[in-house]
């Protein structure tokens, strides 16, 4: 398989938070449509955070909640201002996670720790996933979308996030010829973090939806979520808005309304059906089994085993 065009495609599209964080910030701010004044304020906060990371010798993508807390403490901020800083950093880390350039959101973890400290909870929160009933409501909602191209593209994006556990960056980079829809069972090729290739099975129940979108677009190569008749890439920020719209339409409100919630839901549902942890790890593209094992905590709470007194 020829991977080189994909590499060029991804380089042109994705922010490089790790190597060029200031450029990543500029693109992030532009996607959010902030005014020049707001962008200037947020940039100053982000640059101060980068300077703090340099002092403590921690890469942006590997910062912990303790590092974020140390940054806030070093600024001597009032509680309300700290909350604003945490919100800003949390949104940036959510963008990094969606682009496959960070595994965790330390600002979100700090926010969770502060909320739970009186109850003795740990800072690292469990993955936020949809319940079974919420998942069914979401699926029913997207199946009622209009049959035109935009409606069906939104439906297929949600189905791939929920049915294949893709990261946002992986979904945006997915090419039509990566999808082996006629095979038994159907599967797709994914180029994930670190340019690592993996194969992910496609639920048979969504195959016809994917085929319908390809035929609607009238282009049998190029980017799967590409624009009508063109195949130009779909942006990560566009996927974020798409997922938020789909969740709101279904009447689902979560603390985080991001595509990563659907990825968490995918992992949780696979484990609940008895799929081995190692298999889910491979499908998710996790580097270590520890990243997948955290979903065991969610599954244990939903397993239906009743505690005794």
Q: Under a CB-based contact definition with an 8 Å cutoff, are residues 176 and 222 in contact? A: yes
Name residues whose C-beta falls within 8 Å of residue 230's C-beta, 6 or more positions apart in sequence.
219, 222
Q: State both tokens at 236.
A: 């990560």
Q: Under a CB-based contact definition with an 8 Å cutoff, are residues 65 and 122 in contact? A: no
Which of 13, 263, 269, 281 is the catalytic position? 263
Question: Active-site residue 269, yes or no?
Answer: no
Q: Would you call 175 helix, strand, or coil by DSSP? A: strand
Which of 124, 193, 198, 302 is the catalytic position? 193
Name residues whose C-beta falls within 8 Å of residue 215's C-beta, 6 or more positions apart in sequence.
none
Which of 6, 15, 111, 167 is the catalytic position? 167
Question: Active-site residue 75, yes or no?
Answer: no
Which of 6, 15, 260, 264 is the catalytic position? 260
Query: What is d(CA 49, CA 248) in angstroms, rounded to the nearest whole number?
Result: 33
Question: Active-site residue 263, yes or no?
Answer: yes
Question: Active-site residue 52, yes or no?
Answer: no
Query: What is d(CA 50, CA 216) in angstroms, rounded to the nearest whole number?
Result: 45
Q: Would you call 104 helix, strand, or coil by DSSP? A: coil
Phi, psi of 201 (to 5 degrees): -70, 150
Query: What is d(CA 47, CA 85) in angstroms, rounded to the nearest whole number?
Result: 12
C-alpha 258 chain-centroid distance:
6
Sequence-ordered strand ranges (E) for the chain: 179-180, 187-191, 197-201
Question: Active-site residue 295, yes or no?
Answer: yes
Q: Under a CB-based contact definition with an 8 Å cutoff, are residues 242 and 152 in contact? A: no
Name residues whose C-beta falls within 8 Å of residue 139's C-beta, 6 or more positions apart in sequence.
162
Question: Active-site residue 62, yes or no?
Answer: no
Catalytically active residues, by annotation? 167, 193, 260, 263, 286, 295
């Amino acid at each position: 398989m020829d991977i080189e065009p994909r590499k060029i495609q991804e380089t042109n599209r994705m922010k490089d938070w790790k190597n060029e964080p200031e450029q990543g910030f500029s693109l992030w701010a532009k996607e959010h449509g902030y005014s020049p004044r707001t962008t200037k304020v947020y940039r100053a906060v982000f640059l101060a955070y980068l300077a703090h990371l340099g002092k403590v010798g921690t890469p942006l993508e590997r910062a912990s909640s303790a590092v974020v807390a140390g940054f806030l403490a070093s600024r001597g901020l009032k509680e309300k201002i700290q909350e604003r800083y945490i919100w800003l950093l949390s949104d940036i880390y959510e963008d990094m996670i969606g682009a496959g350039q960070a595994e965790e959101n330390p600002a979100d973890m700090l926010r969770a720790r502060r909320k739970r400290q009186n109850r003795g909870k740990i800072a690292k929160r469990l993955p936020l996933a949809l319940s079974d009933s919420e998942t069914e409501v979401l699926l029913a909602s997207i199946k009622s979308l209009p049959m035109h191209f935009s409606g069906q593209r939104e439906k297929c994006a949600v189905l791939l996030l929920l049915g294949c556990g893709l990261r946002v960056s992986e979904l945006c980079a997915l090419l039509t010829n990566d999808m082996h829809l006629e095979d038994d069972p159907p599967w797709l090729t994914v180029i994930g973090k670190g340019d690592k290739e993996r194969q992910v099975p496609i639920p048979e129940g969504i195959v016809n939806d994917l085929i319908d979108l390809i035929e609607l677009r009238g282009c049998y190569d190029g980017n799967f979520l590409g624009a009508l008749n063109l195949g130009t890439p779909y942006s990560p920020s566009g996927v974020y808005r798409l997922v938020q719209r789909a969740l709101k339409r279904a009447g689902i409100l979560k603390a985080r309304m991001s595509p990563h919630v659907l990825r968490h839901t995918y992992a949780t549902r696979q484990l609940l059906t008895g799929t081995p942890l190692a298999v889910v790890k491979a499908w998710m593209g996790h580097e270590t089994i520890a990243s997948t094992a955290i979903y065991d905590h969610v599954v244990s709470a939903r397993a239906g085993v009743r505690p005794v007194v």
